[in-house]
Structure 1
Amino acid sequence: MGIFKTRQNKKFTYTPRHFKSEGDGSPFEIKHKFDDYRKTVGPTGGIKTKFKNAFGELKESPDRAANRRIKIIVAILILIFLFIIDFDLSIFLPNS
């Protein structure tokens, strides 16, 4: 009965009855099915590394329509924000 000694958790060697082993996979490992194809999942570095990985993955994305859709949505949201704060867009138009 040690006062300063932490109690160790019990370990069990349980294997499910109907589990079919797929190589080194574990039935208890929770893993997303697209994790093998993404760079942003895994060891995390600094914020600069995270942004580099995210932009690299965005550039390599084969779905260009989704990227264009995101850009259109962001542009519309920016215009709505500028309209709400009463920003004068006439400064971008030539004087006539």
Structure 2
Amino acid sequence: MGIFSTRQNKKFDYTPRYYKGEGNPFAMKHKFDDFRVTAGSNKGLKTKLNNAVDDYKNNPDRHGANKRVLIIIGILILIFLIIIEFDLSIFFQKR
């Protein structure tokens, strides 16, 4: 057992007696498997990074997400400057 490897769960081939559907009803599936490539059992840092970059490039809401992230970062920086009592008057022009 390695230091960085995770333990895999045991898998059993059990089908319920009165189940008439397709597939295994007890199969555990990740919530976002149908929508994202990055969610899953990707091995290796390079594979994870490549999948994340591909998912970011193919995301249809890329511009809205970028604007939202920039607004959140700006608000957090402003709160940080207020906490450390930075003089914000250097950013405004005196008339």
TM-score (norm 1): 0.56
Q: Distance in 1 between matches of 2:71 and 2:26?
A: 41
**RCO greater where, 1 or 2, for CA within 8 Å and sep 6 or more?**
1
The size of the alignment, in residue pairs, is 81
The CA RMSD measured in Å over matched residues stands at 3.2
Q: Distance in 2 between matches of 1:49 and 1:38?
A: 14
| Structure number with larger C-alpha Rg | 1
CA contact (8 A) 1:19 1:27 kept: no
Classify 1:32/1:12 alpha carbon distance in 2 versus 1 (closer, same or farther; 3 Å).
closer
Q: Distance in 2 between matches of 1:78 and 1:39?
A: 32
Classify 1:79/1:44 alpha carbon distance in 2 versus 1 (closer, same or farther; 3 Å).
farther
Structure 1 portions without partners, runs of 5+: 1-10
Letter in 1 for 2:48: K
TM-score (norm 2): 0.56
CA contact (8 A) 2:30 2:39 kept: no
Identity %: 55
Structure 2 portions without partners, runs of 5+: 1-10
Q: Distance in 2 between matches of 1:51 and 1:85?
A: 35
Q: Distance in 2 between matches of 1:13 and 1:50?
A: 30
Q: Distance in 2 between matches of 1:57 and 1:19?
A: 36
